[in-house]
Amino acid sequence: MTSAFLNGRPATADELRALALVNYGHFTSMQVRDGAVQGRALHRQRLEEATQGLFGTRLDGDDALKQAARALPEAGLRDASVRITVFSSRFDYRDAARVISPDVLVTLSPASSPEKPALRVKTYPFVRPLPQYKHVGTFPLFHYRRQALAEGFDDALFVDPAGQVVEGSIWNLGLWDGESIVWPEGPALRGTAERLLQQALDRAGIPQRHGPVVRGELDRYRAGFACNASGVQPVVAVDAVAWGADTALMATLADALASVPWEPLA
C-alpha cells in the first residue's frame, strides 16, 4: 500500500495529473528506519541542486525532508521506502522558462527487505540523459530492464558508445579485482548509496579506485555488486561472464553500510 502527500497533506488524483501527463521533475529515494535516514545531507543536496537545474528556482531541501518526516506518522509508519518527488502542477512546457514554485510529493511504501537476491544482468547500449539529475524520465531504464527479464536475466546494465560500463537500471555497479573495489567512470547518476558506501569504505581503509571499465574486459574482475537506496546485492554474471557470489566481499560491504549513521528526517 502506497500513501501520497502533496505539499504536506494527502494528495488527490486530480492534483497529480500534471505529473502524470507532463512527466517533468526529479526525485530522491531512501529507506527510513524508525524515522531516521542515512545520508540526509546528500538527499537534501540532491533535491536542492536538481530543483535549481530543472526549474531555475530554489527549494528548501530541509523542508522537503521534514514533510516526509511528518507524513510517516500520518500513514502510521516508522519504517518505509520513501520517495520525494519535486514537480510543478503549474508547469507548462510551452512556457518552460517561467519561474514557478515547485510542488513536493512524498510517497511512502513498505520498507525494502534486507534480503537481496543475486543478479544476472545483460548489457545494453544506453546513456542516461542529464545523468547529473535523478529525474523522472525513467522510461528507458524500465524498458531495458524488461528486455533483460524477457531474455532470461534479472536486470539491465548500460554501456556507453565507447563500450564502457556506466551504471545499472536503477543502481550503481561496483567491481572487485582482488585488491580493490573499482567504480566505473562514465556518464551515470551518482547514487547516494554509492557515495555513502565509498565514504564508509574509505573510513574502513578498504582500497578503492575509479576508472574506465570496458565491457569486453569484465572477465578480469573477480566479483561485482549493485548498490542503491535499498542496499547492496551481488552481481554474479554480466552477459556470458560469470563470477559467483563473493560472500566475504558482500559482508565487507554490508558492514561498511551499517557503519553509516542514521539521522532523524526532521
Residue 158 has pLDDT above 70, yes or no: yes
User: How far is 55 from 86, CA to CA, in rounded Å?
Assistant: 10
pTM to 2 decimal places: 0.94
The percent of residues above 90 in pLDDT, for the chain, comes to 86
- For residue 25, give the nearest of 130, 127, 176 by alpha carbon: 130
Span 17-37, pLDDT tens digits: 878 888 899 999 999 999 999
Assess whether pLDDT exceeds 80 at residue 84. Answer: yes
How does residue 99 score in pLDDT terms, banded at 50, 70 and 90? low
In CATH, what class is 3-109?
A: alpha beta
100 confidence band (pLDDT: 50, 70, 90): confident
Whether the Cβ atoms of residue 167 and residue 125 lie closer than 8 Å to each other: no
Kindly list the domain boundaries of the chain, sorted by start residue.
Answer: 3-109, 119-261
- Give the model confidence (pLDDT) of 191-241 as tens digits: 999 999 999 999 999 999 999 999 999 999 999 999 999 999 999 999 999
Q: Phi then psi for 91, rounded to 5 degrees?
A: -70, 135
Q: What is the pLDDT of the chain when averaged over all its residues?
A: 95
> What 8-state DSSP symbol labels residue 166?
E
CATH number of 119-261: 3.20.10.10
pLDDT attached to residue 250 = 96
Average pLDDT over residues 93-100: 68
**HSE on the CB side for 19, CA within 13 Å?**
21
Closest CA to 232 of 250, 259, 255: 250
pLDDT tens, position by position, 139-152: 999 999 999 999 99
Share of residues in the chain with pLDDT > 70 (%): 97
- C-alpha cell belonging to residue 74: 500520518
